[in-house]
A and B are shown apart, each in its own frame.
Chain A
Amino acid sequence: MSSYIVRRLIMMIPVVILISIIVFFIIQLPPGDFISGYAAKMTTSGEVMDEAALKLLRESYGLDQAWYVQYGKWIWGMISKGDFGYSLNYNRPVSSIIGQYMSLTLVVSIISMLFTYAVSIPIGIFSAVRQYSIADYIFTAFGFIGMATPNFLMAIILMYLSYVYVGDPMLGLFSPEFIDAAWTYAKFVDFFKHMIIPVIVIGLGSTAELIRVMRAQMLDEMDKPYMLTARSKGLSERRIIMKYPVRAAINPIVSTLGWSLTAVFTGSTITAIVLNLPLQGPVMYRALLSQDMYLAGTWLLFMAVCIVLGTLISDILLVWLDPRIRMRKGM
């Protein structure tokens, strides 16, 4: 098992390098660069920048060099000094922006996922065991509504409800007074309150979907002959359900945890914009629009690493959970 993980980790390296090249190449592909966009903005606000000033700016940021030279410098800085480049938009090192937004995004994503699993797996099991009961129908209806409601609409509805009943739409992740405060208990409680709406909004679609998946998987498994064998031994229904079909139904879900995390991580952009969350989505969106290339590049690279890591985690879980796959991989 450990040799398998090491092997997979080593295999990650060329993949990530290749992705970083592609990312960088694509980012510099559109005509113009940050400076030309910047100049255009200046012009609209009445200031005129002359060619010489623009040239100077380009030179100082290295934007006049060929893309592969820029790429080389960028990567070298990353490897040698942990320097991810400079964000022209924010006028700050990329690493500080990432540090600020990424950790919060990670926290929100993980909590959303935990919410999704904690809600959908028990409901899925229950719905399957009590198939066609009233509760099953209610959960099914809830599931379809949840899947059909667009995130942004849900966000707006919840904000409205929160505003009407609590007097605060719970925008952002912190109340204004806590934004720059150090972590205290009060700040934590405030953060937790602000997490409720984003977690529901981000998690709702996948929760609804996962209920359907879990229910279907359970029904499938509960139809299998090994259920009869388990019953014929005299095991109680509860024990049978938990040991056999639940385990079998959860396997594919747990093993895709890596991918799901990546999906939640990258998929919450619209929600974050609507709810004014200081998450990576909106930042990334702006970086791409303004061709803030080092920020966008680092970001994309970070996502790529997340996806590769997520896949790795999923593969490891799959191997760990399913003896048949373990066998095939020769472990």
Chain B
Amino acid sequence: MKAETATAKQSQDLLQVEELNIHFPTDHGMLKAVNGVSFNVYRGKTLGIVGESGCGKSITGKAIIGIQPKTSAISGSIKLGDVDLVKLKRNGREIRAIRGSKIAMIFQEPMAAFSPLYTIGNQIMESILLHRTKNKKEAAMLTVDILQRVGISNPEKRFHQYPHEFSGGMMQRAMIAMALSCEPELLIADEPTTALDVTIQAQVLDLMKQLQREFGMAIVFITHDLGIVAEMCDEVAVMYLGKIVEQATVREIYKNPKHPYTRGLLRSIPTIGSRKERLESIEGTVPIPINMPPMCGFFDRCQDRIPGVCDKREVPETQLSDNHRVSCFLYADTDNETEILS
């Protein structure tokens, strides 16, 4: 019985990230932007990656399609089926065949993500011409079609327009169209609505949910806003200083947050009708992850810290249940720890 569910779950596996490290050599030492990150993405599901700015979300997302900065050193594995994407040659033929076709990405600043010198149609069609058809007419038709599907009215006309003729919301729709044009299995969305104003934000999120139902792709949804996570995701990984400090289903995270950092983030979500004058925010600043001693990176900001414990060792990960894990000394049971140490 148990073995059966395990295989069922495995067949749903789309992407497996294991012990991913992305380090930048700097003059002061190694900057560990991503430090031992592991997570799975399941077919058709949405995984949220949440955390404050600089915690390594974007780099993680970029690393999945191998577009992390050239200056970084990457290790660990990112498995798409049997293929370890980390092992593929940078910008080589194999990873390029996956980019845009199996895994697509959308970015935070839609305006900047397009070149101002080519039409929207040209830039979307490029993907299609690369992965789906060599026929220009057909590619143009497919482009108009996808523009229509992301809710851009008058797509034939819009096809020939330039980015500066689009509004921010329209641009983000165009970017989504570009990403979905080859019907990827996985969409990495890096703060896709952060640059948009609130009403447009809601529209784009609704669109993404609708398109996920239609296309059936999985989404890695990167955001710093736990409020959006509730709306968009099935599962959420909370990142802090290059590590995942807690991961659980969305229900579980909201109902039963364990990590003091997660709790802090939840307290800082604005809720509609809340009378609070000011949102609580987590005190203190994020350290720079260079030459960190073996200790909890959240120690200095943590309300529940245990001096002499949290600042003396690496934090062990505790599997609280099937769908909930946390890295915090508050939940580290000794059994688990010996298991990790042995």
Residues of A bordering B, CB below 8 Å: 224-226, 228-237, 243-244, 247-248, 251, 321-324, 327
Contacts and interface: CB of A to CB of B under 8 A. Distances in A.
A294 to B, nearest CB: 47
A224 B115 CA distance: 9
Given A231-B91, A235-B96, A323-B116, A225 B107 contact: yes
Given A228-B67, A234-B97, 20 more contacts: A226-B112, A228-B62, A228-B113, A229-B114, A232-B67, A232-B99, A234-B96, A234-B99, A234-B101, A234-B130, A235-B126, A235-B130, A236-B91, A247-B117, A251-B117, A322-B116, A322-B117, A323-B117, A324-B116, A327-B165
A46 B304 CA distance: 109
A321 to B, nearest CB: 8
B136 to A, nearest CB: 16
B127 interface: yes
Contacts of B130: 233-235
Q: Rank and list the top 5 A-B pairs by shortest CB-CB distance, nearest first.
A: A234-B99, A234-B100, A233-B100, A225-B112, A234-B96
27 contacts: A225-B107, A226-B113, A226-B115, A228-B62, A228-B67, A228-B107, A228-B113, A229-B113, A229-B114, A230-B115, A230-B126, A232-B104, A232-B105, A232-B179, A233-B178, A234-B98, A234-B127, A235-B130, A248-B115, A248-B117, A251-B117, A321-B117, A322-B116, A322-B117, A323-B162, A323-B164, A324-B164
A151 B314 CA distance: 66
Contacts of B99: 231-234
A233 B127 contact: yes
A230 B100 CA distance: 9
A224 B117 contact: no
Contact of B115 (A231, A232, A237, A244): A244
B140 to A, nearest CB: 16
Contact of B109 (A225, A233, A244): A225
Contacts, number: 75
Contacts of B175: 229
A243 B129 CA distance: 15
Interface centre among A231, A321, A322 (most CB of B within 10 A): A231
Interface centre among A226, A228, A243, A321 (most CB of B within 10 A): A226
B131 interface: yes
A321 B97 CA distance: 31
Nearest to B122: A243
Contacts of B162: 323-324, 327
Nearest to A240: B91
B65 interface: yes
Nearest to A328: B164
Interface string B130-164: 11000000000000000000000000000000101
A229 B91 contact: no
Nearest to A245: B115
Contacts of A244: 115, 117
Contacts of B165: 327
